[in-house]
Amino acid sequence: MACSITSVAWTFPGPALAHVKWFAPFNVAEDPKSIGEVLDGTFVIFFLASVAAIYGFFAVDRIALRRGLLAPLDERLKRLDDFAILILRLSAVIFFTATWGWHQAYGTAFYITPELKTDAAFVPWLQLCLGICALFRICLPVVGLGIFSLYGMALAKYGLFHLLDYLIFLGLGYFFTVTNIRRGAWRRSGFVVLYAATGLTLTWAAIEKFAYPQWSYALLQSHRDMLMGMQVENYMTLAGFLEFALAFILLGAASIFGRAVALGMQMIFMLAIMKFGLLDAIGHLMIIAILLVLVVRGPTRSRDILVLREKSVGMEAYFMTGLYFLAFGMMFIAYYGLHYIFYHT
């Protein structure tokens, strides 16, 4: 089941997980597609298919967990905290140096992602300083505070609703701020917050595909090979469910199969880079790094709260499917509700 979900994801490079705001016109203040228009027959079919896939995956995932499939390897990998930190440190070095280099080469500066542009001359130099700081583990709290600062400046300019797209950077900021604290559960909390922020970022972006599919239409029309004969409207609906379901699996998988899904998602992002180039590489670098950490280090022990060992496998899969219903409904309501609050009240 994990392999089948990952293989389906592989067939949807580019806009399936790409961030369209970097390549096409958009306006977050415009009204999203009405809920009545979103909830058409195609949406219902894809939703029911995603529910079946979620149930099937978690049944397989919990069977693998109970049978201890590759459990010794999984346990050894979970001890690779320092290696995971190194991956994120080096990725931060490349990311911040690349954002500074993009400004030097093209004269365009941005805070944390390509569409969050700024005219502030000090921002690229701050990013270069953060890249240098990331080279030294002792300076990681400075990197974390720097990310919070960049997020705050972008927040002041673009508003909260827009910045909800990038909760992942709040997770990164927290992670780098606490990662050197060896006392208590601070380091573990860094991974927990980082993973949660990544999941929220991906699920929020999935709902955006339902709300504003038209942002991607021109991009898809110019890359029709990715449509595989589908109508652009159906493609975007499927892409939204694909992204949401994979993100939910990343947050809930407890066996070695979760690493396979993280690897599959990482490959999708890398395929998108091949399609859309350097700007996409810079914009998605940190999420690719986090997915690599999920492949290498895996989830934290906090994931065990979702494991019902005293229940049957079927009941566990049913429980996770119920959480999928809840998560989907809550994110859908949050997206439309917050948009109304910020732009109509």
Region 150-154: mean pLDDT is 98
- Long-range CB contacts (within 8 A, 24+) of 215-218: 215/20, 215/21, 215/24, 215/25, 215/26, 216/15, 216/20, 216/24, 218/24
pLDDT of residue 301: 84
User: E-assigned strands of 37-92?
Assistant: none
Over range 206-210, report the average pLDDT: 96
CA distance from start to end of the chain: 45
> In the block, which residue shows the tokens 């700081």?
133
Please tell me the total count of domains within the chain.
1
Instruction: State both tokens at 25.
Output: 């016109």
pLDDT in tens, 31-75: 999 999 999 999 999 999 999 999 999 999 999 999 988 878 878
User: Mean pLDDT throughout 80-106?
Assistant: 95
Mean pLDDT, rounded, for 302-315: 91
Q: What is the pLDDT of residue 18?
A: 58
The gap from C-alpha 240 to its chain's centroid, in whole angstroms, comes to 13
- Inform me whether the pLDDT recorded for 10 exceeds 80: no
pLDDT for residue 8 is more than 70: no
Which distant-in-sequence residues (6+ apart) come within 8 Å of 82 by Cβ?
none
Domain range for 42 is 2-344
Mean pLDDT for 107-128 is 96
279-290 pLDDT tens trace: 989 999 999 999
Query: Which one has a higher pLDDT value, 182 or 16?
Result: 182
Res. 16: pLDDT tops 80: no
**pLDDT, greater one: 264 or 19:** 264
* DSSP structure string for 281-336: HHHHHHHHHHHHHHHHT---GGGGGG--TTS-HHHHHHHHHHHHHHHHHHHHHHHH
Q: What pTM, to 2 d.p., does this model score? A: 0.92
Q: Quote the DSSP letter at residue 110.
A: E
pLDDT at 224: 80
